[in-house]
Structure 1
Amino acid sequence: MKIVLTGAAGRLGSYLREPLTRLCDELVSSDIAEEIGKLYEGETYVRADLAQYDQIHALLAGADMVVHFGAVVDEAPFETLLGPNFVGAYNVWEAAHHHKLRRVVYASSIHAVGMYPRREHIGTDVPHRPDTFYGLAKCFAEDLGRMYWEKRGLESVHLRILSCAQVTSPRALGTWLSYDDLIQLVTRAIDTPTVGFSIVYGVSDNDRSPVDNSAAAYLGYRPKDNAEQFADTILASGEPSDPTDPAQMCHGGPFAKVDLGESGLAQMTIVDDRKMG
């Protein structure tokens, strides 16, 4: 089996590369970076721009599946996101259809439904409620995936990732996705025999998880880690509670509070602990 990974130079991509080589005979990693360091056995690197269809069409030739993690991973002006996040998603699905791939595994986000209040324990079937242009791009790709499944029979699994980063805030006690659970999630999205069109939340087995994955149980994703191990430290030094603050009260966190086009990550403490090959 041949798998293509987009976004291979990113933080999450850095943790997926080696596990993916163990799931397939050939892994083609891709990004717009000049290089991604030492390659693993069975891995090659191809530089490609998601916004350029001819490059993505060539990238997916001969593949069985694509794990699509490439994107601008923050809120930004619509014009900045249009190429990589919107057009890029179309290019991936259209090229996957043309080359008759079995499946697209897509890094969606909680920001597709980020304006729901956190007191609502939302499932995978709630209507879209994006918090930003970034979240809107995730809604677009989810709808694109549903349409390509229903009209063209191309399967896809959409991983609505909450917070796949070190736990540094009270919100993350509920939203944390450990790297080990990320790897399990992507593995289940690849090795489940049939998925059709599927949505699953990317979150660990946290006591305070604000989402419900029961409708996606058929994927076999059973997270092992729990952010409660960090609770005493985080709550002792956390921000004061404020029930009028959208960043605390909405599923999207700081992305629910920033103005459209303004960085959400700038309001967060994200540790760049990407895996070095």
Structure 2
Amino acid sequence: MKLVLTGAAGSLGSHLRAPLAAMCDALVSTDIAPDIGTLYPGETYVQADLAQMDQIAPLLEGADMVVHFGAIVDEKPFEELLGPNFVGSYNIWEAGYQAGVKRVVYASSIHAVGMYPKSECIGIDVPHRPDTFYGLAKCFTEDLGRMYWEKRQMESVHLRILSCADVANTRALGSWLSYDDMIQLVTRAIDTPSVGFAIIYGVSNNDRTPVDNAKAAFLGYRPKDNAEQFAEKLLAEAPPVDVTDPGQMCHGGPFASVDLGQSGMAQLRLLNDKTKS
């Protein structure tokens, strides 16, 4: 099996390289970065721009599946997101279709539905409700994936990741996706025999998880980690909740309260947990 991993230099992609290389005959990792360090057995690296079809299409020749994690991972002005996050998704699906790729596993996001209040436990089939241009790109790509399945029978699994980073705030008590659970989630999206078009939330087995994956149970994802181990310390240090702040009351967290085009990640103060190869 040949896999292609986009976003291989990113914080999530860097954690996927080793397990993906171990489960396939050939892994082609790609990113816009000049290099990603030492390669794993069976892995090759190609620098490429997602927005350039002539750079992406050759990488997908002979590929069985694409794990598409490449993107700008923050809210930005629409013009900055258009190439990597919108056109880049089209290039992956169209080039994949032309190359006979069976399936795309896509890093979608809670921000596709980020304006729902956290008091609503939302399932995988709620209508889109993006909180930012970044979330809008996720809506676009989910709809793109559905269309390519229904019109061209090209499968895709869209992983609506809530937050895959250190547990640094009370929101993460419900939204945390551990790296081990992320790897399991991607693995299940690859090795499930048939998926059609599927959406599943990327979240660990947290006591306070605000989303419902019941309708995606056929993928076999069974998360093991739980953020409740961090609850006592974080809750003791947390300031009072501002019920007028969408950033505290909506699924999208800070992305729900920032102005369009303004960074949501800057408010999260996350650590850089990218692996070193």
Q: Residue 19 of structure 2 aligns to which amino acid in structure 1?
A: P
1:111 is aligned to 2:117: no
Q: Once superposed, which parts of structure 1, at least 4 consecutive aligned residues long, lie more than 4 Å away?
A: none
Percentage of pairs with the same residue: 74
Summarize the alignment of residues 7-156 of structure 1 with structure 2, pairs less than 5 Å apart.
7-156=7-156
TM superposition shift of 1:39: 0.5
Q: How far apart, CA to CA, are the structure 1 residues paired with 2:145 and 2:264?
A: 26
Q: What residue in structure 2 maps to residue 271 of structure 1?
A: 271
Q: How far apart, CA to CA, are the structure 2 residues paired with 1:240 and 1:169?
A: 13
Deviations 1:214-241 (A, max 9, x none): 0000000000000000001111112321
Please say if residues 146 and 197 of structure 1, whose CA atoms lie closer than 8 Å, have aligned partners that are also in contact: yes
Q: What residue in structure 1 maps to residue 232 of structure 2?
A: 232
TM superposition shift of 1:247: 0.7
Q: How far apart, CA to CA, are the structure 2 residues paired with 1:132 and 1:74?
A: 9
Q: How far apart, CA to CA, are the structure 1 residues paired with 2:226 and 2:35?
A: 34
Q: What residue in structure 2 maps to residue 259 of structure 1?
A: 259
Question: What RMSD, in angstroms, separates the aligned Cα atoms of the two structures?
Answer: 0.5
Q: How far apart, CA to CA, are the structure 1 residues paired with 2:16 and 2:236?
A: 33
Q: How far apart, CA to CA, are the structure 1 residues paired with 2:106 and 2:71?
A: 11
TM superposition shift of 1:269: 1.4
Q: How far apart, CA to CA, are the structure 2 residues paired with 1:234 and 1:182?
A: 23
Deviations 1:78-110 (A, max 9, x none): 000000000000000000000010100000000
In structure 1, runs of 5+ residues without a counterpart are none
Secondary structure of the corresponding residue to residue 11 of structure 1: coil
Q: How far apart, CA to CA, are the structure 1 residues paired with 2:260 and 2:245?
A: 17
Q: What residue in structure 1 maps to residue 192 of structure 2?
A: 192
In structure 2, runs of 5+ residues without a counterpart are none
Q: Residue 42 of structure 2 aligns to which amino acid in structure 1?
A: G
TM superposition shift of 1:242: 1.3
Deviations 1:167-189 (A, max 9, x none): 00000000000000000000000
Q: Residue 38 of structure 2 aligns to which amino acid in structure 1?
A: K
Q: How far apart, CA to CA, are the structure 2 residues paired with 1:22 and 1:267?
A: 36
Q: TM-score, normalised by structure 2?
A: 0.99
Q: How far apart, CA to CA, are the structure 2 residues paired with 1:146 and 1:197?
A: 6
Secondary structure of the corresponding residue to residue 12 of structure 2: helix
